[in-house]
Amino acid sequence: LGLDGLKAKPVGDGLVGQIEAREAAGIIVRMIKSGKMAGRAVLFAGPPGEGVYKSLN
């Protein structure tokens, strides 16, 4: 997810952008690992991203 703790890096692990979504996913991952979300579903909802691709070169 390209996270440093629970904060998203601008570019990390091949992921660019979607900072808020990646941080939210990091919180969900932490809750699952701690056993607080066993057997539950998660729905991420919101407007689509800008669709901008940033070259890493």
Top pLDDT among 9 and 55 is at 9
What is the model's pLDDT at position 57? 46
**The pTM is what?**
0.63
Write b or e for each residue in 6-23: b if 16 or more Cβ atoms lie within 10 A of its Cβ, otherwise e.
Answer: eebeeeeeebebbeeebb
What is the model's pLDDT at position 15? 66
| Count of alpha carbons within 13 angstroms of residue 31, beta-carbon side | 13
CA 42 to chain centre: 13
pLDDT tens figures, 7-45: 888 776 666 667 888 888 899 889 989 988 888 888 877
